[in-house]
Amino acid sequence: MQKFTTLTGIAAPMDRANVDTDAIIPKQYLKSIKRSGFGPNLFDSWRYLDEGEPGMDHGRRRLNPDFVLNQPRYAGASILLARANFGCGSSREHAPWALMDYGFRVIIAPSYADIFYQNSLKNGLLPVVLEEAAVQQLFEGVYAQEGYRLSVDLDRQTITTPSGQVIHFDIDPFRKHCLVNGLDDIGLTLKHVDDIRAYEARRHKEAPWLFR
């Protein structure tokens, strides 16, 4: 998993509540488990004017000019501002994969669906929780200023706005440790690889019939 320490990037506004995982990455794209290649289909049904299917040349599809991520001012955004209950719906891990493959590393919202929140942390995507008033302030800043950039420091647990305002956020210490060190569940297990090998060697001696 890619480490997360600090990020400064353009923020894009997803100004609607209860964005579910089928909106984030529609069900027809869930056959692949490669964790990559989902970026072109992020928010597929909102992003394009035609219906998408796997295997299509998405570069030739008709973009919806009214969809926020198709607007030039948000090109290259790496921070997504969202409203309450982001990531609700089915528990598809493809949702954080699609967000990251598109280029997002941070989401800022008042609340998330629990499974989406945990899936994001386990895949290197940082879901920041702020009070609704603070999120609203950031939305207003994004709308007022083109190229609105935020600086996110996970070690200090801060977000710094273009005006220099510093906003603090909370995060579970264990999940913070995993993000800073780039440790997913497999990485955490491999930290104990010597103990695992020692146990396996001991079991081979104690119960060799189990390994025939």
Choose among 37, 38, 45, 40: nearest CA to 19.
45
Helix or strand holding residue 117 (H, E): helix 114-122
Domain 6-181, CATH number (from 3.20.19.10, 3.50.50.60, 3.40.50.10490, 3.40.50.2300): 3.20.19.10
pLDDT of residue 192: 67
* Both tokens assigned to 70: 């198709």
- What are the residue boundaries of the structural domains of the chain, listed by start? 6-181
DSSP per position, 177-210 = HHHHHT--HHHHHHTTHHHHHHHHHHHHHH-GGG
pTM above 0.85, yes or no: yes
pLDDT, tens digit only, all 212 positions of the chain? 889 999 999 999 999 999 999 999 999 998 877 878 899 999 999 999 998 888 888 888 999 999 999 999 999 999 999 999 999 998 889 999 999 999 999 999 999 999 999 999 999 999 999 999 999 999 999 999 999 999 999 999 999 999 999 999 999 999 999 999 998 777 666 666 777 777 777 887 788 887 77
- Using only C-alpha atoms, the chain has a radius of gyration, in whole angstroms, of 20
- C-alpha torsion angle, residues 97, 82, 52, 65 (rounded to 10): -130
